[in-house]
Amino acid sequence: MNPVNRQKRQPEDLKVFITARESKCDECQEDLGSKTWIMLAGQKGARCLSCADLDHLVFLPAGDAALTRRARAHSTLSAVVLKWSKARKRYERQGLLVEEAALQQAELDCLADEEARAQRRHRAAQHRAELDVAYVQRFAERIRQLYPKCPAQTATSIAEHACARYSGRVGRSAAAKALDEEAVRLAVVAHVRHIETPYDRLLMDGWDRFDVRASVEDAVRSVLAKWQGSQHLNQPG
């Protein structure tokens, strides 16, 4: 007989409890001792994991959120493992019972993720190495001259981004020209528009680029004014 045929299966998790007291399986009548894992089946009492048909699952202790999420997603059958905490007077999640193959797949996914992250870090490092460090620094300093209240880290990131566009493609004079007030201002404006306003999201939503630019113009101007500091507030942005 199906142990859950009385209750309509809710979309919520199956639950397995680690009990503290002596327990007996109400189906196979086996004495399970204390600290045993049981499933509660409503009026029918406790089930050992064999009778609950969960004994082929493996236990994944709580702690790794990504692994847990993935293992659960890969597992056709899974159950949350709970234990009563005397101190906190509530059930606490100990981990998850999942199919072994699902856990393995989840581990592979996480590993692939780590590799992807490592590769991304490697690419980023390579990218920084290709940038002309001294030039980035000059560009960042120039930003801070024009926008003294712009956070230093932001200035560096704007400079790196702007310099990446010049690196290897332009000669010394063009690079020097890129330090013009107007060129620096344009780089800062582009950054502010993308990062400090809903510009990108509005573009994603399919709005016309010119309409979107117009709609964030005030927001951009106010950030620039803030970064310039009060003595420049009256200058046109």
Main-chain dihedrals φ then ψ at residue 169, nearest 5 degrees: -110, -20
Q: Which is nearer to Zn ion, 36 or 94 (CB)?
A: 36
Q: Which residues are near Zn ion by CB under 5 A?
A: 25, 27-28, 48, 51
d(CA 183, CA 147): 13
Encoded amino acid at 35, one letter: K
- Compute the least distance from the CB of residue 30 to Zn ion, in Å: 5
Q: Which is nearer to Zn ion, 23 or 78 (CB)?
A: 23
d(CA 112, CA 116): 6
- Compute the least distance from the CB of residue 97 to Zn ion, in Å: 16
Q: Which is nearer to Zn ion, 51 or 81 (CB)?
A: 51
The helix or strand, by DSSP H or E, that contains position 66, with its residue range, turns out to be helix 65-74
Burial status of residue 26 (CB atoms within 10 A of its CB: 0-12, 13-18, 19 or more): middle
Cβ 25 vs Cβ 47: under 8 Å = yes
Q: Which is nearer to Zn ion, 50 or 145 (CB)?
A: 50
Cβ 82 vs Cβ 94: under 8 Å = yes
Q: Which is nearer to Zn ion, 48 or 96 (CB)?
A: 48
Nearest in space to 39 (alpha carbons), one of 6, 4, 87, 74: 4
- Compute the least distance from the CB of residue 121 to Zn ion, in Å: 50
Q: Which is nearer to Zn ion, 52 or 163 (CB)?
A: 52
Encoded amino acid at 206, one letter: G
23: three-class secondary structure by DSSP: strand
Work out the end-to-end distance of the chain between its first and last CA atoms, rounded to an integer number of angstroms.
76
